C-alpha cells in the first residue's frame, strides 16, 4: 500500500509542478509544439503502415480501437471542452449503429453514406437530449445520462419497432470490400476508412476548440454565470455541445456496426458507456489526442487482464484502472502536460 | 380497482428495496459529495460475508451485528487505502476508481462464491400479509429502513459527529478551521455508508436471492430514488425509493402495449422530468452558486 | 493454493499464447488447422464477466472434462487444448474473440460459444471462414439451419420446441385452461412463447395475459400479481433461474392456485426450486432431457456416480447444485464423441461431417430413451424431451419421450 501512496504523492507533485508553469516562455512553447507535432506525425506513419505489417485479427482490433477513440473524442468535446458529464454515451453509439444498420439492411444504402446519416441523427438526438439536460448539473446529469444508457437498448427491442430493428435477434450486416480494385482486403480497407474518419474527426475537433464557438464552449465550462453575463447563450452552447458530441459518438457507432457486422440490443449494454468514460479519463479529460490512448486502453487492457487471470479478469482490470488513477490522476494527457511543462521549465532555466 | 390496490401494495413492497438502497446512497453522498458506483457491490459483498458466516453455523443474531461491524471497518479501510491516496484528483478520476472497485468486488465475489443464486434466510421469518401481497420480510424491511432513517436524521441533526460530517462534506476548509478532522470524517462516512449498505444487502437478499450481480439494477433504482427525493435529504431518498417502486409498477400495469416492456424507462423519464422542474429533487436544498 | 496455481497456469498460457503469435505453429498439417500429432486446439467463447457470468460454469465444467480426457490419454493420443475466452456477453467482443481464436490461435473449431447474441454475431464470420461453430450454447431456432449456415450447429433442444410441447399438452389435457405467461424479454422468452402459441394452435386464445420482464429488473412481483389478477389458472414461467425462482415464490405467497410450468433452463432442484421453496414448487411441470443430479431417483445410477466422481476430482470448486455442470459435462462428451468419430482425419470438413452424422448417440446423463441424431439436413442434435412434474422432493417424468418438430 505504501508504494501506492508514494506514486500518488509523486503524481501530485508533478501536477503541482505543472500548474506552476503557468505561462511557459514562447520559445519553450514552440519546442513543445514541435515535439507534439513530431509525435503526431510518427503516430500517423505507424498508423498508415500498421495494416501492412499486422495480421487481419490485429487490424480488426486496431480498427475497433480507432472507433472507440472517435467515440471518446466525442465524449471529450462534451466533458473536456464543455464541462458536462455523460455516463450515457453508449446510447448515442447505439443510435448511430442502429441508424447505419437499418439504412443498410432495410433501404440498401451504401455503407459510407450511413456515416453522415448516423452523425446527423445523433446530432439531433443529442441536441434534443441536451435541452432537458440543461437544467441538470453534476450528479443529476450523470444520473440522467446513465438512465439514457440503460434505457436505449430496451427501446431498440421494443416490439412496435421490431420491423426495423429485428428486436432481440439483431441485424447482420455484410462486410464491404475495398472499392476500385484496391489491393486491400476488407479488414485493411475498413481500417483505412476508420483511420480517415478518425483523422477528419480529430481535425474538426481541433478547429472547433480553436474557434470562437470552442472558446464559448470552454467559457461555459469554466464559469457558466460569467459566460452568461458576457452574452454567451449558455443554453444554446450546452445543447450544441451535446449534439456535436453525440454526432461523433454516433459516427463511431455506425463504423462499429459495419466493422463488427452485427448489432443487437445486447451490443450496447451500459458497460459500453462506462468503458467510454474510463477511456476518456485515462486518456485525459480535455486533451483531444488522449482519446487515442483511451481507446487503446479500453480495447486492449481487458484482454491483458483476461490473460493474467480468467476467473478474476474483472478484478485485475479494476486494479489496473485504480493503479492508473494513482499513477496519472489526470490521465495520460495530464501526465504529458506535466512532463512537457517540466521540460520547458528546464529549457527556460538553461 | 382491486388490481390497482394490489399493484400499489406490491409497489410499496418493492419500493422498500429501493428506499433501503437510496438511503445508503444518500449516506455516502452526505460524506463525500460523490455518487459511489461501487456502493451496490459493497453491499453485495457484505451480504456474502453474512451468508458465509451463516453457512459456517454462526447464529443469526450474531451474524447481523458482526456483518455490520465488518462492513464498517471495510468501508473505512477502503477510504483509507484506496480513496485517500487519490488526494484531490478530479471528480472523474474518482469515478474511474469507483468503477474499478465495482469490477474488483463483483469479480471477487463471483470467484469466491460462484454465480449460482443462493437463498438468504429472512430475519423476520416466512409468511405474508394482505393476501400475500407483502411478505412479513418486506414489512420488516420497511420498518428497519424507517428506523435507520430516524436514527440517521437524529445523527446528522443532533450529534457533534454528525454535524461535523456534514460540515466536512459541504465546506472542508471552514470545517478544518473550526477543528473538525475532515479526513477522518470522510472515512467515517464511508464506514457508515458501508454499514448501512450491508443492512440493505441483508434485507434485499431474501427477496431477490443472493448472487454477485444482485445489486446491479437495484443500485440504479436506488440512485433514481435518491435523486428523485433529493440527494441531501435522507427522508427524501426513502420517499423517492417508494415512489420509484410505485410508479414503475403502475406504468407496467396500466400503460398498454409498451408499458410492460418499458417499466424502467418510464420511471426514469418521469424522474428526469421531475428533475427538470426541481433540479435538486423533491426534498433537496437549492445550492446557491457564486461567480 | 489452487487459485494461485491457476493464476500461474493462466500467466503461463498467456506467455505461450504470445509466443504463438510470434511463431505460428510449424508442425501442423496444412489442411488440418489446430491439429498436430499431439494436440487438438478447440476454441470457446463464454461470459466470464458481465451480466451473464453465471453461465461461465458451463465452460469451466467443459475445461475440467477435457482435463479428465487428457489425463486418460486424450483422443487418439492427442490432447485437447481448450482455449476459452471471455466476451462478457457482448457481441462485438465475441467477434473479436472469435477472430482471435480462428486467425491467431488457429483453432480447429469453436465449440459451445454461449448466448444467442454472441453466436448471431459470429455466425456469418465462421461460415465465411468455413470454421465449424459446433454445439452452440443457445436454443435459438436459427442455429440449426444447414442451408443458410452449414458450419453452425446447435446442441440443446431448441426453445421453440419446448414451447410447443407445453402448448400441445395444455391444449389436449387442460381444456379449461386460462393461461398467464411471464417471459423474459429476449430471444429465449420470445421463442418459447411463440412455440407455446404454435403448440396451442387454434386454442391460442387460451392465453389471457402476458407479462414480460427485463433482466435489469430486480424483482418480478408486479408481473406475477398482474397475471394472477387476469384470472389465469395456468402460470407459465419462462424465465432464467433467478427470476423463475422469484416467480414461483411469489405465486405461492399470493396464494395463486394455478398449474405452473417452468422452462427447462430453470428446473434445477438445487439452483431454482430449493431457493424458491420446495413447498411452493410442488406440482410444477417442466421438461427435461438430462438427469437432475440432485434428484434422489438417480442416487444409485452408475452414470450419476461417474459424474460425482468427475466433479470431485476435476472440478472440486464447481457447484454440484447447478444444472450447468451436468450440461457442460454432457456437451463436452458430445464433442469428444465427434472427435473420436473423426479419427485421424481431423480436417474441419470431416469434423463437421461427423457432427452431422450422429446416429442414435446416447449420453450417460440423458434420460432413458433419449438419443442424439443429426444428418446433413438436420442440425438439431437433441430434439427429444420428456414432461415431468415436481412432487415436492424430486421430478417425476410422465408420458412418452416427445420429439419437437421444428425445422430450420
- Strand C133-134: give its sheet, edge to edge: C79-86, C39-46, C109-111, C133-134
> With 90 as the cut, is the pLDDT of residue A270 above it?
no
CB A290 within 8 A of CB A284: yes
pLDDT band at C17 (very low <50, low <70, confident <90, very high): very low
Q: Which among A31-45, B244-258, C73-87 has the top mean pLDDT?
A: C73-87
Q: Smallest Cβ distance to A56: which of C13, C103, C190?
A: C103
- List the Cα angle A319/A324/A330 in 5-degree steps: 145
Alpha-carbon dihedral sign for residues A88, A91, A97, A100 = negative
Q: Give, in order, the Cα–Cα distances in Å from A277 to each of A134, B94, B97, B106.
A: 20, 12, 12, 19
Minimal C-alpha gap between A101 and chain C (Å): 13
Q: Which chains have 3 or more CB–CB distances shorter than 8 Å to chain B?
A: A, C
d(CA C192, CA C404): 12
> With 70 as the cut, is the pLDDT of residue C15 above it?
no
- Provide, as residue numbers in chain C, all residues whose Cβ is less than 8 Å from the Cβ of A311: 3, 6, 48
Q: Is A271 touching B (CB cutoff 8 A)?
A: no
- Provide, as residue numbers in chain B, all residues whose Cβ is less than 8 Å from the Cβ of A285: 90, 92
Contact B104 A315 (CB under 8 A): yes
> With 60 as the cut, is the pLDDT of residue A335 above it?
yes
Please report the pLDDT score of residue A13 as a whole number: 37
Rounded CA Rg of chain A: 21
Alpha-carbon dihedral sign for residues A239, A241, A243, A249 = negative
Contact A271 C99 (CB under 8 A): no
Phi-psi bin for B125: left (phi > 0), alpha (psi -120 to 50), beta? left
d(CA C271, CA C250): 17
What pTM does this model have?
A: 0.87
Please report the pLDDT score of residue C14 as a whole number: 45
> With 80 as the cut, is the pLDDT of residue B15 above it?
yes
pLDDT band at A256 (very low <50, low <70, confident <90, very high): very high
Contact C190 A167 (CB under 8 A): yes
> With 60 as the cut, is the pLDDT of residue C281 above it?
yes
Contact B85 A314 (CB under 8 A): no
d(CA C21, CA C27): 15
Chain position carrying cell 450529534:
B159
> By C-alpha distance, which of B50, B17, B198, A160 is closest to C217?
B17
- Provide, as residue numbers in chain B, all residues whose Cβ is less than 8 Å from the Cβ of A330: 89-90, 93
Nearest CA in chain C to A314: C49
Q: Give, in order, the Cα–Cα distances in Å from C167 to each of A312, C174, C230, C290, C400.
A: 43, 10, 19, 21, 16
Contact C7 A264 (CB under 8 A): no
Q: Is B213 touching C (CB cutoff 8 A)?
A: yes
For chain C, what is the mean pLDDT? 86
Please report the pLDDT score of residue A23 as a whole number: 39
Nearest CA in chain B to C54: B115
Please report the pLDDT score of residue C12 as a whole number: 45
| A residues 128..187 contacting B (CB < 8 A) | 132, 135-137, 139-140, 142-144, 146-147, 150-151, 154-155, 157-160
Q: Is A160 touching C (CB cutoff 8 A)?
A: no
Contact B11 C222 (CB under 8 A): yes
Q: Give, in order, the Cα–Cα distances in Å from C104 to each of A12, A176, C19.
A: 42, 22, 11
Q: Is C59 touching B (CB cutoff 8 A)?
A: no
Which range, of A98-102, A322-326, B126-130, C36-40, averages the lowest pLDDT? Answer: B126-130
Q: Which among A69-78, A104-113, B113-122 has the top mean pLDDT?
A: A69-78
Minimal C-alpha gap between B288 and chain C (Å): 37
Residue B269 CB partners (closer than 8 Å, separation 6+)? A151
Side-chain half-sphere exposure of C137, counting CA atoms within 13 A: 28
Tally C-beta pairs within 8 A across A and B: 147
Helix, strand and coil content of chain A, in percent to the nearest 5, comes to 80, 0, 20
CB B168 within 8 A of CB B175: yes
Contact C104 A55 (CB under 8 A): yes
- Provide, as residue numbers in chain C, all residues whose Cβ is less than 8 Å from the Cβ of B208: 218-219, 242, 246
Contact C218 B14 (CB under 8 A): yes
Please report the pLDDT score of residue C102 as a whole number: 93
Please report the pLDDT score of residue C18 as a whole number: 44
Q: Give me the mean pLDDT over the C161-180 stretch.
A: 91
Q: Smallest Cβ distance to A278: which of B90, B99, B289?
A: B99
Kindly report the number of other CB atoms within 10 A of residue B174's CB atom.
12
Contact B263 C217 (CB under 8 A): yes
The model's pLDDT over C52-101, given as tens digits with 9 standing for 90+, comes to 888 888 999 999 999 999 999 989 889 999 999 999 888 999 999 999 99
d(CA B138, CA B203): 8
> By C-alpha distance, which of C361, C363, C360, C368 is closest to C397?
C368
Please report the pLDDT score of residue A12 as a whole number: 37
Q: Give me the mean pLDDT over the B135-157 stretch.
A: 87
Q: Give me the mean pLDDT over the A151-160 stretch.
A: 83
Cell numbers standing for residue C54:
453465471
Chain position carrying cell 460540515:
B167
In angstroms, how far is CA B168 from the centroid of its own chain?
Answer: 21
pLDDT band at B287 (very low <50, low <70, confident <90, very high): low
The model's pLDDT over A235-247, given as tens digits with 9 standing for 90+, comes to 888 888 899 999 9
For chain B, what is the mean pLDDT? 85
Residue C95 CB partners (closer than 8 Å, separation 6+)? A60, A260, A261, A262, C121, C122, C125
Mutate to test the interface with B, among A224, A281, A332 (most CBs of B within 10 A): A281
Minimal C-alpha gap between A331 and chain C (Å): 25
Please report the pLDDT score of residue A75 as a whole number: 94
Mutate to test the interface with A, among B84, B93, B270 (most CBs of A within 10 A): B93
What are the b/e assignments for B35-62, b being 16+ CB within 10 Å? bbbbbbbbbbbbbbbbbebbeeeeeeee
Nearest CA in chain A to B104: A315
pLDDT band at A348 (very low <50, low <70, confident <90, very high): low
Q: Give me the mean pLDDT over the A211-222 stretch.
A: 83
- Provide, as residue numbers in chain B, all residues whose Cβ is less than 8 Å from the Cβ of C61: none
Please report the pLDDT score of residue A7 as a whole number: 33
> By C-alpha distance, which of A31, A52, A140, A47 is closest to A88?
A140
Contact C120 A269 (CB under 8 A): no
Backbone angles phi, psi at C402, to 5 degrees: -110, 140
Please report, in angstroms and rounded to a whole number, the separation of the first and last CA atoms in chain B.
53
Chain position carrying cell 420480510:
B137
pLDDT band at A345 (very low <50, low <70, confident <90, very high): low
Q: Give me the mean pLDDT over the B272-286 stretch.
A: 76
Please report the pLDDT score of residue B259 as a whole number: 67
In angstroms, how far is CA C32 from the centroid of its own chain?
Answer: 28
> With 50 as the cut, is the pLDDT of residue C407 above it?
no
Query: Over pLDDT 70: what percentage of chain B?
Result: 95
Please report the pLDDT score of residue A25 as a whole number: 44
Q: Give me the mean pLDDT over the C215-235 stretch.
A: 89
Contact C226 B3 (CB under 8 A): yes
Kindly report the number of other CB atoms within 10 A of residue B121's CB atom.
15
Cell numbers standing for residue B6:
394490489
The model's pLDDT over B88-120, given as tens digits with 9 standing for 90+, comes to 788 888 889 999 999 999 999 988 988 888 889
pLDDT band at B66 (very low <50, low <70, confident <90, very high): very high
Q: Give, in order, the Cα–Cα distances in Å from C117 to each of A136, C25, C183, C337.
A: 35, 32, 18, 27
Please report the pLDDT score of residue A4 as a whole number: 34
* Residue C211: strand, helix, or coil: strand
Q: Give me the mean pLDDT over the A147-172 stretch.
A: 83
Please report the pLDDT score of residue B1 as a whole number: 64
Contact B264 C214 (CB under 8 A): yes
> With 50 as the cut, is the pLDDT of residue C214 above it?
yes
Q: What residue ranges in A196-278 does DSSP mark as E strands?
A: 262-263
Please report the pLDDT score of residue C30 as a whole number: 57
> With 60 as the cut, is the pLDDT of residue C310 above it?
yes
Minimal C-alpha gap between B33 and chain C (Å): 26
Minimal C-alpha gap between C244 and chain B (Å): 11
d(CA B204, CA B216): 13
In this structure, the dihedral spanned by the alpha carbons of residues C11, C16, C17 and C21, taken in order and rounded to 10 degrees, is: 140
Please report the pLDDT score of residue C144 as a whole number: 85
Q: How many helices (H) and strands (E) does chain C have?
A: 13, 11
| B residues 222..281 contacting C (CB < 8 A) | 248-249, 252-253, 260-261, 263-264
d(CA C33, CA C42): 10
Q: Is A33 touching C (CB cutoff 8 A)?
A: no
Q: Give me the mean pLDDT over the A209-220 stretch.
A: 83
Q: Give, in order, the Cα–Cα distances in Å from A136 to each of A179, A211, B276, B278.
A: 47, 26, 7, 9
Contact C319 B217 (CB under 8 A): no
Amino acid at each position: 500500500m505504501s508504494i501506492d501512496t508514494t506514486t500518488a504523492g509523486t503524481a501530485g507533485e508533478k501536477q503541482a509542478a505543472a500548474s506552476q508553469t503557468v505561462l511557459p516562455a514562447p520559445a519553450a512553447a514552440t519546442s513543445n509544439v514541435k515535439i507534439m507535432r513530431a509525435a503526431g506525425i510518427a503516430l500517423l506513419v505507424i498508423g498508415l503502415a500498421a495494416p501492412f505489417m499486422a495480421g487481419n485479427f490485429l487490424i480488426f482490433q486496431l480498427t475497433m480501437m480507432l472507433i472507440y477513440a472517435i467515440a471518446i473524442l466525442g465524449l471529450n468535446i462534451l466533458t473536456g471542452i464543455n464541462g458536462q458529464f455523460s455516463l450515457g454515451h453508449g446510447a448515442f453509439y447505439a443510435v448511430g449503429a442502429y441508424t447505419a444498420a437499418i439504412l443498410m439492411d432495410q433501404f440498401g444504402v451504401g455503407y459510407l453514406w450511413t456515416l453522415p446519416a448516423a452523425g446527423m441523427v445523433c446530432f439531433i438526438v443529442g441536441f434534443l437530449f441536451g435541452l432537458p439536460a440543461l437544467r441538470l448539473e453534476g450528479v443529476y446529469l450523470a444520473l440522467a445520462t446513465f438512465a439514457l444508457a440503460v434505457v436505449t437498448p430496451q427501446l431498440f427491442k421494443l416490439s412496435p419497432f421490431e420491423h426495423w430493428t429485428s428486436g432481440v435477434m439483431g441485424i447482420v450486416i455484410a462486410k464491404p470490400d475495398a472499392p476500385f480494385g484496391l489491393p486491400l482486403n476488407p479488414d485493411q480497407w475498413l481500417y483505412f476508412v476508420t483511420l480517415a474518419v478518425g483523422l477528419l474527426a480529430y481535425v474538426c475537433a481541433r478547429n472547433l476548440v480553436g474557434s470562437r464557438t470552442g472558446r464559448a464552449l470552454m467559457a461555459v465550462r469554466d464559469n457558466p454565470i460569467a459566460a452568461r453575463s458576457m452574452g454567451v447563450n449558455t443554453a444554446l452552447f450546452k445543447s450544441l455541445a451535446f449534439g456535436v458530441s453525440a454526432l461523433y459518438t454516433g459516427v463511431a457507432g455506425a463504423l462499429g456496426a459495419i466493422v463488427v457486422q452485427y448489432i443487437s440490443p445486447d451490443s450496447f449494454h451500459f458497460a459500453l458507456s462506462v468503458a467510454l468514460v474510463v477511456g476518456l479519463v485515462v486518456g485525459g479529460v480535455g486533451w483531444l489526442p488522449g482519446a487515442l490512448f483511451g481507446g487503446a486502453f479500453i480495447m486492449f487492457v481487458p484482454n491483458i487482464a483476461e490473460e493474467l487471470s480468467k476467473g478474476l479478469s474483472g478484478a485485475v482490470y479494476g486494479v489496473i484502472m485504480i493503479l492508473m488513477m494513482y499513477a496519472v490522476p489526470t490521465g495520460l494527457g495530464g501526465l504529458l502536460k506535466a512532463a512537457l511543462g517540466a521540460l520547458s521549465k528546464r529549457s527556460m532555466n538553461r | 380497482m382491486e388490481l390497482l390496490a394490489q399493484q400499489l401494495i406490491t409497489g410499496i413492497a418493492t419500493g422498500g428495496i429501493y428506499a433501503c438502497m437510496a438511503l445508503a446512497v444518500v449516506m455516502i453522498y452526505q460524506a463525500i459529495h460523490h455518487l459511489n458506483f461501487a456502493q451496490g457491490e459493497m453491499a453485495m459483498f457484505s451480504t456474502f460475508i453474512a451468508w458465509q458466516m451463516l453457512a459456517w453455523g454462526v447464529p443469526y443474531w450474531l451474524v447481523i451485528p458482526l456483518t455490520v461491524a465488518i462492513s464498517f471497518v471495510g468501508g473505512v479501510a477502503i477510504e483509507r487505502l484506496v480513496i485517500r491516496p487519490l488526494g484531490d484528483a478530479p471528480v472523474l478520476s474518482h469515478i474511474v476508481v469507483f468503477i474499478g472497485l465495482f469490477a474488483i468486488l463483483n469479480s471477487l465475489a463471483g470467484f469466491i462464491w460462484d454465480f449460482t443464486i443462493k437463498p438468504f434466510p429472512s430475519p423476520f421469518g416466512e409468511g405474508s400479509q394482505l393476501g400475500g401481497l407483502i411478505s412479513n420480510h418486506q414489512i420488516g424491511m420497511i420498518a428497519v429502513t424507517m428506523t435507520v432513517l430516524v436514527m440517521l436524521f437524529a445523527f446528522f441533526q443532533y450529534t457533534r459527529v454528525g454535524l461535523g460530517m456534514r460540515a466536512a462534506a459541504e465546506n472542508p476548509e471552514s470545517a478544518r478551521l473550526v477543528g473538525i478532522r475532515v479526513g477522518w470524517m470522510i472515512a467515517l462516512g464511508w464506514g457508515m455508508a458501508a454499514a448501512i449498505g450491508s443492512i440493505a444487502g441483508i434485507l434485499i437478499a431474501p427477496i431477490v436471492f443472493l448472487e454477485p450481480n444482485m445489486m446491479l439494477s437495484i443500485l440504479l433504482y436506488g440512485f433514481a430514488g435518491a435523486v428523485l427525493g433529493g440527494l441531501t435529504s435522507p427522508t427524501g431518498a426513502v420517499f423517492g425509493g417508494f415512489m420509484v417502486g410505485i410508479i414503475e409498477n403502475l406504468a407496467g400495469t396500466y400503460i398498454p402495449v409498451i408499458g410492460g416492456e418499458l417499466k424502467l424507462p418510464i420511471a426514469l423519464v418521469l424522474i428526469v422530468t421531475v428533475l427538470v422542474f426541481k433540479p435538486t429533487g423533491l426534498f433537496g436544498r437549492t445550492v446557491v452558486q457564486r461567480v | 493454493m489452487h487459485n494461485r496455481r491457476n493464476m500461474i497456469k493462466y500467466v503461463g498460457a498467456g506467455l505461450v499464447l504470445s509466443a504463438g503469435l510470434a511463431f505460428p505453429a510449424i508442425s501442423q498439417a496444412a489442411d488440418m488447422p489446430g491439429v498436430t500429432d499431439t494436440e487438438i486446439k478447440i476454441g470457446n467463447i463464454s461470459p466470464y464477466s458481465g451480466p451473464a457470468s453465471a453461465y461461465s460454469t458451463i465452460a469451466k465444467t467443459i475445461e475440467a472434462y477435457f482435463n479428465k480426457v487428457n489425463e486418460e490419454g486424450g483422443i487418439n493420443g492427442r490432447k485437447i487444448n481448450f482455449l476459452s475466452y471471455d466476451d462478457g456477453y457482448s457481441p462485438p467482443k465475441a467477434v473479436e474473440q472469435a477472430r482471435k481464436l480462428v486467425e491467431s490461435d488457429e483453432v480447429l473449431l469453436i465449440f459451445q460459444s454461449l448466448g444467442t447474441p454472441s453466436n448471431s454475431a459470429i455466425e456469418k464470420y465462421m461460415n465465411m471462414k468455413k470454421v465449424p461453430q459446433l454445439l452452440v450454447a443457445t436454443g435459438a431456432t436459427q442455429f440449426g439451419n444447414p442451408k443458410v449456415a452449414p458450419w453452425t450447429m446447435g446442441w440443446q433442444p431448441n426453445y421453440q420446441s419446448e414451447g410447443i410441447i407445453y402448448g400441445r399438452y395444455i391444449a389436449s389435457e387442460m381444456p379449461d385452461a386460462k393461461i398467464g405467461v411471464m417471459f423474459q424479454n429476449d430471444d429465449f422468452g420470445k421463442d418459447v412463447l411463440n412455440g407455446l402459441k404454435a403448440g396451442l394452435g387454434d386454442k391460442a386464445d387460451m392465453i389471457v395475459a402476458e407479462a414480460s420482464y427485463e433482466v435489469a429488473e430486480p424483482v418480478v412481483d408486479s408481473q406475477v400479481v398482474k397475471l394472477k389478477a387476469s384470472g389465469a389458472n395456468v402460470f407459465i414461467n419462462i424465465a432464467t433461474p433467478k427470476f423463475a425462482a422469484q416467480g414461483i415464490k411469489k405465486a405461492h405467497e399470493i396464494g395463486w392456485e394455478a398449474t405452473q410450468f417452468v422452462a427447462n433452463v430453470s428446473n434445477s432442484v438445487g439452483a431454482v426450486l430449493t431457493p424458491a421453496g420446495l413447498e411452493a414448487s410442488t406440482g410444477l411441470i417442466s421438461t427435461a432431457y438430462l438427469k437432475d443430479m440432485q434428484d434422489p431417483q438417480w442416487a444409485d445410477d452408475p452414470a450419476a456416480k461417474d459424474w460425482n466422481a468427475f466433479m470431485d476430482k476435476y472440478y472440486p470448486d464447481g457447484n454440484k447444485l447447478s444444472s450447468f455442470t451436468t450440461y457442460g459435462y454432457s456437451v463436452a462428451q458430445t464433442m469428444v464423441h465427434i472427435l473420436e468419430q473423426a479419427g485421424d482425419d481431423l480436417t474441419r470438413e470431416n469434423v463437421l461431417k461427423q457432427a452431422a452424422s450422429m446416429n442414435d448417440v446416447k449420453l450417460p446423463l440423458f434420460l432413458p430413451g433419449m438419443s442424439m441424431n443429426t444428418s446433413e439436413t438436420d442440425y438439431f442434435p437433441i430434439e427429444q424431451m420428456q414432461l415431468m412434474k415436481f412432487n415436492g422432493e424430486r421430478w417425476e417424468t410422465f408420458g412418452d419421450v416427445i420429439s419437437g418438430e421444428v425445422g430450420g
